Amino acid sequence: MTEPPALHRLHFGYEDAERDIASGLLRESFISTPAYEAVMSGRKMLVIGRKGVGKSAICLRLAAEHAGGTIFITPDDALGSEIRRFELQGLTGDTAKALVWRYIFAVHAARHLVLNAQRARRSLRKPKSIRVLRRFLKANGELPNQDAAGKLAHAVSGLQKTSLSLEAFGIKTGLELGRVPSEGAQASRQLEVVERGVADAFAELDQAGRTASVLLLADQLEQVWSSEPDAHSMIIGLLLAAKHVTAYYGGAMRCLVFLRSDIYDSLSFPDGDKFRGDELRLGWSDDALMELALARARTSAGAGLTSEQLWTELFPARVGEQATTEFVLSRALPRPRDLIQYLNLARDIAVHGGQSRMREQDVLLATRQFSEWKLKDLTQEYLVAYPYLERLFPLFQNMGYVVMRDVLATRLDRTAGTLHAQFPAYQHSFTLPGIVDTLYSVGFLGVRRGNDVVYAGGADLPVQPYEAEFHIHPCFRESLGATNAVDIHAYTPLVLTAIHGQVAGGNVRTSTPRAATRDRGYRLLKALDRSCHTILNQIGRAVDLPMDTRNEIATQVSRIMRNTREASDAQRDGRRIDVDDHVLAAATYLEALAAQLLASGLTGIDDVSARIAGEARHLIASVGGSSGSSGDSRS
């Protein structure tokens, strides 16, 4: 049977780590980065990153490679609801929720130890501490072989009511714990007994040469998070409990927390500075993303696939004026999920079109659809934190992707009333600085700093009050119709149409001698060409103007020059054209262009706009002179 073409076999994997690990792809193509090594070694316990940046991939890879036991902590709605509501008299919300997380960890560890003991050979006598843990779990309805649904939620309630059964540890609740001043202190004493029991079990196993280490992996916390204060306390409590676990159990059990960056950055608590050394923020360089793409491509298309073959044979070498890799990387947010989706989409379009290798138009079509996906995904990703985000996108639709602060302020003023009416609880966010900060933090807008445009995600500063020039991320430009730097209407050539129409229709002027008409036309076209050169020189000197904007203006002016040369060639060949109409059309376009540029408010645009407007006025005056005017007189 003939093997299908390499492009048909090509697949970059799935968007979620769960399916990748089930298919074996995560094992075969996982990139062991310094970030992964830091987590694996225990140097970091808090993994922070945007959705799709690879947190769950690291989590699942750790679970596959950890020599001891691994326990996933992925709270469902029932447990999340119980933790958010958990309160104890005498304790702050953060401290109370830290206690309940510590209890959850202890119960998970106890279950794990008891279950492993049950699976051990019958000849091995179960340590006394394991038998104690089993009695405790049974008394509180937490045995691992019982139905787990809703149990932890019930246990949370038991801890809150300080009604845990501790007789397995030789303690009769309420008598041997002694008098305590508050509900919070009572719960703390009960928890200390449970944790001591778990720690004793670890120690006894270690003494018996049956070392058991447990790795707790807390992931997918965004499923139970909201912007409410009790949800913030729930996450803060988790962080406090995770740090406690690692220290308390002496390495026998440690906890890793995988948290979305927007959730972590929204937290504020007194002990926040103690987590700086534990933080690991995931980020991807272009080189690392390309390495990931090649590794994944090799698992499907063949281990011998080279980077050059992937990017010049299966993919087109270039898209427009950019190398394909540069084009793709610039239009995807720097995270694996985006790159996987983008490349798979381009491949699918080519294969469904019956191609054996990808074409430039396949990548361009994928770019448009991918951009629409990402704009929708951005709304969903930040729906909890910024429910109004989707309502901000029309401020940028069908306009230039370079936006100045004062122009954005004007646009915002027009829609502020609607935003306030639809989202009254977020009125404090609908100031210009607030909107800019929001759009920058989610990666929608970048800010110009020097000759670079900086997007959120690195170690860069947030937007500063004096920064005034913003750029829509290339990922979102296609879906918004913002593909040009400034909202500039393209120049439409008219000369050839005019030539053909006049020749076909016999539209030949006879009121002016032929030689005089030819000389006047020559001078007018020459004046138009000089004006274009003058404008280009002005653009070249406008160093404060964004490069993208300069290029876009130069592109339109160059079209006028190219069209003017065609008109000059036609006149030299003896074809009669309406030079006046051509020059007036070009001058009118330049006049409108000057007004558009001035309205954009871009830094450094005033001199350019004034020069273009001046040249347009001169050209209009030249055409409006008497027949035979040289068109060279300037006011």
Looking at residue 334, what DSSP letter applies?
S
- % of residues, the chain, pLDDT over 70: 87
What pLDDT is stored for residue 501 in this prediction? Answer: 42
Over the stretch 321-343, which tens digit does the pLDDT of each residue have? 899 999 999 999 999 999 999 99
Over the stretch 145-191, which tens digit does the pLDDT of each residue have? 644 444 556 666 667 655 778 889 888 755 455 566 778 888 888 89
Over the stretch 34-71, which tens digit does the pLDDT of each residue have? 888 888 888 899 999 998 898 988 888 888 887 678 89
Q: With cut-offs at 50, 70 and 90, classify the pLDDT of residue 18.
A: confident
What pLDDT is stored for residue 1 in this prediction? Answer: 52
- Residue spans of beta strands (DSSP E) within 369-419: 402-404
Backbone phi, then psi, for 366, in 5-degree steps?
A: -65, -35
Dist CA 261 CA 385 (whole Å): 12
Over the stretch 381-430, which tens digit does the pLDDT of each residue have? 999 899 999 999 999 999 889 999 999 999 999 999 999 999 999 999 99
Q: With cut-offs at 50, 70 and 90, classify the pLDDT of residue 517.
A: low
DSSP H/E element including 452: strand 452-454
pTM of the model: 0.82
> Tokens standing for 426?
């977020």
> Tokens standing for 585?
């059309």
Statement: residue 588 has pLDDT above 90: yes
Over the stretch 289-324, which tens digit does the pLDDT of each residue have? 999 999 999 998 998 999 999 999 999 999 998 999
Question: CB burial class (10 A; 0-12, 13-18, 19+) of residue 426?
Answer: middle
Give me the mean pLDDT over the 195-202 stretch. 93
Over the stretch 425-474, which tens digit does the pLDDT of each residue have? 999 999 999 999 999 999 999 999 888 899 987 667 889 999 999 999 99
Give the sign of the dihedral formed by CA 398, CA 400, CA 406, CA 408: positive
> Tokens standing for 95?
């401290």
Average pLDDT, the chain: 85
Task: List, in sequence order, every residue forming a beta bridge with 319; answer none if it has no partner.
Answer: 322
Closest CA to 471 of 604, 592, 338, 330: 330
Statement: residue 580 has pLDDT above 50: yes
Dist CA 2 CA 241 (whole Å): 58
- Report domain extents, the chain: 6-13+285-381, 55-281, 389-480, 495-624
Dist CA 500 CA 396 (whole Å): 40
Residues 372, 393 contacting (CB under 8 angstroms): no
Q: With cut-offs at 50, 70 and 90, classify the pLDDT of residue 506.
A: very low
Looking at residue 460, what DSSP letter applies?
P
Statement: residue 16 has pLDDT above 70: yes
What pLDDT is stored for residue 513 in this prediction? Answer: 53
What pLDDT is stored for residue 494 in this prediction? Answer: 63
Closest CA to 131 of 145, 113, 148: 113
